[in-house]
Amino acid sequence: MDRWQNRVAVISGASSGIGAACARLLVAAGLQVVGLARRTDRLEKLRQSLPEDQRTRFHQHTCDVSQESQVDNAFEWIERELGGIDVLINNAGIVLGGQLIDMPTKDIGHILQTNLMGSIYCTKLAAGSMRRRQVAGHLFFVNSTAGVAGYKPDPADESLNAYTPSKFALTAVHEICRQELIQKGSKIKTTSINPGWVATEIVPDETKAKLGEVILQADDVAQAVLYALSTPPHAQVEQITLRAVGEY
């Protein structure tokens, strides 16, 4: 991880769950980490919970990634204050349960605007920063097993019906970015992390109760990010699918 010392990692959705776990691990690994999220109080709580000697490496910026102008402002601030972006972890995401056919289109739009467009806004700006500075950076997409299969593993569970298309589209965004960067002669790496169920706030208590111990922890996903980052410059981890042992 030596080559990432003091390099700048931006994590969307760093205020809880997987994003917060990634922030903790990357700050401990010596990176400067910018956490983006809407809940400023939770970002501040995360900063306070870091060991004192690591705290100055965590920077927070309130940002709703579904709003392009807010993403623009956040990335302008990062360029100005920290000099550019070396790692992006597209992690911010929401779930609104229920059947796609019956759900108000406004709600479906909100999911797509956050999970898909939010990642596209951040990716374009981060890739731009890396290419301008000729940095061999790393773009991550925190996707989902739902984004790989494109359908729900359990027909009786409607919690992911409208979420699944947003993540399936993210699989395409990742692959297109990977190919475009190669065409441009860039050495920027891209990695999709596809977890099954993870014990975070996004998962309803009822689902957690059903899963019992067959569930990943946020730190398991953060460790996968760290592994992909630690590979040598010539090697790229394209996809990591993680499931709890025993999960279908």
Residues labelled as active-site residues = 163
The token pair at 8 is 């700048």
Binding residue (CB under 6 A) for ligand NDP from 25, 30, 38, 100: 38
**Eight-class DSSP state of 219:** H
Work out which of 44, 64, 68, 158 binds ligand NDP, going by CB under 6 A. 64
Burial of 213 (0-12, 13-18, 19+ CB in 10 A): exposed
Q: Per rule CB under 6 A, is residue 190 in the interface with ligand NDP?
A: no
Footprint (CB under 6 A) of ligand NDP, residues 78-97: 91-94
CB of 233 to ligand NDP, least distance (A): 27
Residue 4 or 141: which CB sits closer to ligand NDP? 141
Among 58, 121, 168, 197, the residue binding ligand NDP under the rule CB under 6 A is 197
Count Cα atoms within 13 angstroms, Cβ side, for 149. 15
Task: Please report whether residue 162 would count as binding ligand NDP according to CB under 6 A.
Answer: no
Smallest distance, ligand NDP to C-beta of residue 42, A = 6
137 binds ligand NDP (CB under 6 A): no
Q: If binding is defined by CB under 6 A, does position 171 make contact with ligand NDP?
A: no
d(C-alpha 131, C-alpha 211), whole Å: 43
Q: Quick one: which segment of 62-70, 101-109, 151-159, 182-190 binds ligand NDP (CB under 6 A)?
A: 62-70
Nearest CA to 68 among 123, 23, 30?
Answer: 123
**Contact code string over 3-32 relative to ligand NDP, x by CB under 6 A:** ---------xxxxxxxx-------------
Q: Position 221: which residue type?
A: V
User: How far, in Å, CA of 104 to CA of 57, rounded?
Assistant: 42
61-97 burial by CB neighbour count: b if 16+ within 10 A, else e? bbbbbbbbebbeebbeebbeebebbbbbbbbbbbbbe
Site for ligand NDP, rule CB under 6 A: 12-19, 36-39, 42, 63-66, 91-94, 114, 118, 142, 144, 195, 197-198, 200-203, 218
